[in-house]
Each structure stands twice: as C-alpha cells, then as structure tokens.
Structure 1
C-alpha cells in the first residue's frame, strides 16, 4: 500500500501510533488510517495489513479484478512487493498493523527442501480474508511492540517472522491462492448493527444472546457466522474491544484503574488486570508507565 516503510507518504488522516519496530527481515508499524483515496506506490517490500479495530469498506485494484471488501478486526490485506496498485480507497477509519517483509520471504534452499519451486513462490495480491493463524501472529506482534522491551524480543520476533513467512508461502502463493468460496456469513447490515451495539455498551454486561438478538439469529448460528465474518469468536471480539478501550483510557490519563475496569465492562479491577495481562503481556500499571514515556508519532 506504500512505497517502503521509511519513505511512505501517509494517507490522508493517517498517523503512526507507535514508532517503527524493526528486526531482521521484519518491520512493524502501528497505524491509524482514515477515509479517503490513498496514494498508490509500488512497494519495495511485501506488506501485510492486519486490522485491529474500526470498520471500512476497501476498494483496491492492481492487475486483475477490482477487489472490494470489508476491513474488519481480524481481517488481513496482502500486497506483494512490486505490485503496481492503481486504486486504494477507504470509506471509514481503521487501526491496523502493517507488517513489512522482504520480497523473498524464504531462501531458495528452504523452499526446495519442502518441494516448493522458488520460481513459483510469488505471493498473491489478496485481501479481506480472516485467517486465525495470521490473527495470532498479528496480535502477538502488537503486544510485542506495546510492552516494555525484553532481552528475548529479537528471538521472539525472529520466530514470528519465520512462522509468518512459511504460512504466507504455504497458503497465499499466487499459483494456488483463490478467494474463498462465498459461504454464508453475516450480512453487512446485521454485522454493523452487532458491532455498533458492542461499541455503545462496552461498559455493560453483554451476553451471546444479546448479540444474537441484534442479528436476529439463534446464538449458535450467530456465533458461527460472526467468527466467519471477523475471524474471532464473539467473546474474543468483545474482550479485544474492551481491552483496546481500556488502553485508550489508560493512555488518556486522569482515570484510576478501578474506574477503567468498570468503564471497560469488567466486573472488578482484579478481573480486569488478569484479562489485560493475558491480552497484552503486561499489567495495566506497566502499560500506563510505558506510554507516559512514549509519545504518539504524527506522520
């Protein structure tokens, strides 16, 4: 979607939320992208955009058919290095991680060891898909760049990079990837109604029955279709949004952790702290201290 991580021209209304994190063969950028038509440059690196929050319909076009889809939390958008993108439009705002990988994801010798022709390892221009493995890697990288640094960070990032490269080569090669057959999923208007309901009631108790009723479906049918649409189970999505809301309250300052817990929909400060540490790898107090020292970087 950009030319390179260091020289990219920011889209309108876009800003970096943290500095660029860089390891061997992997760079990670945490960015908020606003609506509008974005400048298209030929990227020097393969880019994977993983959506963390927000909603937007995306229209983009390179060689081949026009791609249109919903950018929802848990979905990914893949742009191989050298792609001549002609159109990139957002109609809403999203928070995302952009992962930058080398044009050659794996060495030729490693590909041949697994009976993959290096000449057939080109990555597809693919978007709008929910992949649980990419979700796990994306969330792990988000937590890695947000928590205080540790001596083993480089080792951990190297492992994630190798897993990511292998997964992309194994599942998203241009010679084998095809858009998934259209399966029953939540209609956009029903999904939007459910997501709006969640955002308006993050501080309240929300049950699966509550969400299913917003979609006019049985709880079982709703849970299956919601996961297909977002890549996350309803309770995982709800917890993720509550944690993200809590992070914003913590960074904003002026609110005690007990108030943050209640305003984010947790029954107690203790349950909030457990969920926060599980999701981010650090305690709320450590997260607050970290962000007191880390300013938001405007592009």
Structure 2
C-alpha cells in the first residue's frame, strides 16, 4: 500500500510562511486560526470558535474546512459535532505565523532570509511502496545493551537532577562508546555509535536526547529550534533511531518517526528500527546502570 508522507517538519520555515500566507488573505481565517490555537486545549468545537470570534457558524465552518484542507488544522468529528484540532508542529510557531500574516514586509523578508523555492507550497509528498520496506518499532526492552532493565520497574520519571549531559555520558558508558560528541546547533544527532547490540548483533544507532529543561509532553515542535530535529536525526547513516526525553512523549513523535523510518528503509534497502525512551524507561536505565552514570 502506498504511503503519502507530508514532510512539514523538514521544511519548517516554508511551513510557517505557508500558514501565514493562508491567513493573510482573509481576516476570518486569521480569527479562526487564532481561536483554535489559543490556549492549551487541543481542540475547539465550532460553537466554541463562534463564541470567541463572534463569527457565524457558516463562516467558521467554511474557513475551518479550508485550513484543514491545507493541513494547518485538523478537522475532527462530523455532522453537528465538528471540531478543529491543533497541529503539533504549528502550535509553538503560532505567534510567528500571526505576526507574518499581519505584515507583508516581514513575510517578504522572511522569504528572502530562508530562500525557499518559488511557488512551493512547503509540502513534499512522497509515495512509497510500503511492502518493499522493513521497519520495526522497538522499546528499551528489545535492546540487548540494556538487558539489565528487565529486573527494574518504576512508577516515576527520571529525576531532573540527572542532566542531559550526565544521561548521555551514562548511555555512552553502557554501550562502551569512548568517542567525543560535542553539541552544536546543526548536529544531526546527539550520539552516534556502532556499539548498540540487538538480537545478538551490533547495530548502528543515532540518539537524540531532550533534557529536563524542556517542559510538558514532548511533541515534534519542541524538537529542534525549527521543529526539524526528528528529520535531521534520520539523516544519519544508521539503522536504529532513538529519541529520549525526561517526561512523556506524544504519539505524534512516534508517528513521524514511523514515516521517516519507511522513507529511510525505502532509500537504503535496509531494515530500520525506531523507538522512544520516555521518562519512565529513562529512570529504569538509570537505576539498572547507576554506576555508569
């Protein structure tokens, strides 16, 4: 079955501009977008948007549907119970999108600075025959290098006192990796090594660590300055890709990893494994291998 991949994250500046241009043409669309993305509530019903904007129900439905068709919001429900849901990528960029939508000069300057392709909508659609790809979602319990965690259970996240640097050093020690990996803004990954063991074999793995300084559930928009860290992670020449965080990780992170794993497998012809290590599993590793940290 073909899979269509919308590569929004890898083109973050273009996506931001794309959304701003969709709003600048209509004050109603601007108000609908603002109402949907205001506050922490994931989704807003049509009635809630009407109440916040003083628009008519027909206006909200018309422009809400247009935004949904452009993948700027997600429409959920049906018939009399329609609601519009935030897209994880756009939520942290809401203010920037609204600012650009209001000011044509800033939009033009933004375009020149990022140098996007002329006429591009910002979406890249890739059709892949998924039957020809080999991917698997893994957990820490599938990784032989972390076999000691099988005896460890916990109901708590890893403590904030364990810094990202300390956790990364601990993982390096567990894997027996002695190379130096210095952080910088454009790196593809935080740790790249050939010393991970799975199913009795060594595998090449790329890790991305998101430290305790990040707040709330981890979503794609919080990964990287432009929300493109997952895409950059999968640019590494590896077969296993892992994202680690101190708290909970949203399903949308896994969904994006799945899409990129399929694309990676299609391009390389190799089996690609991917997974997350949330706060609970991070704590299990920390407890099982405390001396390594």
Task: Place the TM-score, normalised by the shorter chain, in its bin.
Answer: under 0.3
Higher RCO, 1 vs 2 (CA within 8 Å, ≥6 residues apart): 2
Query: Which of the two has higher C-alpha Rg?
Result: 2
TM-score (norm 2): 0.26
